[in-house]
Amino acid sequence: MSRVGAARRYDGARTESEKHMLITDIQTVVVDAARAALGTGRRTWLFVEVHTDEGVLGIGEASQSRLDAGVRAAVEEMKPYYVGKDPLGLIEPQRRQWLANPFASRVRYAAVSGIEQALWDIAGKALGQPVHVLLGGAIRERIPLYANLSQATPSRSPDDLATTAAQAVSDGFRAVKIYPFPQPQEVAANRGVALTRDEIVLAEARIRAVRDAIGPDVALHTDWAWTVTPGDAAALADRLLPYDLFWIEEPFATDDPEELAALRRHIRPRLAGGEQLSERLPFRQLFQARALDVVMPDVKWIGGISAFREIAALAAAYDVEVSPHNMSGPVATAACVHLSAVLGNFLALEYGYAGVPWRDELVAGSELVEHGTIPLPTAPGLGIEWDGAAARRHAGE
Ligand SMILES: [Mg+2]
């Protein structure tokens, strides 16, 4: 069956002259991915399955650990647009349909992101090519990861963080990330107020313990999780200079471009941010202000793979590096792997180290992590073997 060359209507609808694959259904599955023993708050993964009449199934991920009911409702609301259409050639039309609207919400961006990844997965499977080939071809064979330790450490004590960090290094990771300051849920009533002396001392103890555990040659990323005031950030960065931080992420409660740019000019580590953004304008404002060294778009709520690539290109024009925000399940991780393979300004991919032990069941062991890297997938589409039945077992459905 020819996939190319025949007249194709711009909206993906079937023409009389060509037999197309057709979308028959879209389903969502939500699993609880928080490690209960840790009590580190809510973490869910939300997957989007796009089914077709030829038995090809596309999978995407729209996890954001909040508003799952809203994302599922948005998928249901949008479903009639997709059912009966050819999934090939639909990626740009569906973005235009749902996101070219100033009232498009974060929830809708997430829903479109999940569906969009699934459309890439279907396109790759239908054409027999991995997504990175459809994106123009890989420029690296292995994707370096950094280990986010937040789901792996038994507690946030300096000793437990150090032990977990050392474990990640012994597993081959050459970069780790910790949250030295209070988590947002710990300071909700105190947000935007200066940290106490005890909180600062504890943060430094966490960083010192981890640096001692990983040695001088492993990169130490720190996520400040929006808990530091602009008035304190520069002095804190000075205090932490001996620990050779690789980056400081999201220091302030607001992403004020001028405050970030002022901090960036002062500090030695890279300044990273932008994980929560969906629309283009705030990215543009951050780049124009020279506010970031590293931007961290999230494929799960930026509008999908195409939208991610556009922001990465915009970042490249400002000499900003890209590190995908990815405390995600194996599906968004796969989408990020294909993006990371083709981006000239890619830096490192986030990976949720040692999270739920059943992670591999969702993709039948096809997520391959070797020595802190993911080798480039060669299977068609996203290159993972989605097991919807296993996912539904963990969803309790
Ligand atoms: Mg972060």
* pLDDT at residue 191 in the model: 60
Spatial distance between the Cα atoms of 250 and 226, rounded to a whole number of angstroms:
5
Integer-rounded Cα Rg, in Å, for the chain is 21
Centre of ligand 1 to C-alpha 97, Å, is: 30
User: What confidence tier does 39 reach under pLDDT thresholds 50, 70, 90?
Assistant: low
According to the CATH classification, is domain 23-128 in 3.40.50.300? no
- Cβ 79 vs Cβ 98: under 8 Å: no
Centre of ligand 1 to C-alpha 275, Å, is: 6
Average pLDDT, the chain: 92
- Cβ 290 vs Cβ 262: under 8 Å: no
* pTM beyond 0.75: yes
Least confident of 21-25, 107-111, 223-227: 223-227
Q: What is the mean pLDDT of residues 122-132?
A: 98
Centre of ligand 1 to C-alpha 11, Å, is: 37
- What does the pLDDT look like over 301-327, one tens digit per residue? 999 999 999 999 999 999 999 999 999
Centre of ligand 1 to C-alpha 326, Å, is: 9
Centre of ligand 1 to C-alpha 296, Å, is: 8
Q: Which fold has domain 133-395?
A: TIM Barrel (3.20.20)
Pinpoint the alpha helices (H) of the chain. Answer: 68-82, 91-99, 106-127, 131-134, 158-170, 197-214, 230-239, 257-266, 280-288, 305-317, 330-342, 388-395
- What does the pLDDT look like over 261-299, one tens digit per residue? 999 999 999 999 999 999 999 999 999 999 999 999 999
Asked if residue 84 has pLDDT above 60, the reply is yes
Q: How does strand 373-375 pair with strand 349-352?
A: unpaired
User: What confidence tier does 72 reach under pLDDT thresholds 50, 70, 90?
Assistant: very high
Centre of ligand 1 to C-alpha 287, Å, is: 18
- What does the pLDDT look like over 85-105, one tens digit per residue? 999 999 999 999 999 988 889
Domain ranges of the chain: 23-128, 133-395
* pLDDT at residue 1 in the model: 44
Residues with CB under 5 A from ligand 1 (ion): 223
Its sign, for the CA torsion 4, 121, 304, 369, is negative
- CA–CA distances in Å: residue 211 to residues 129, 144, 159, 233, 271: 42, 20, 12, 20, 19
CB proximity list for 135: less than 8 A, separation 6 or greater: 305, 309, 338, 339, 341, 342
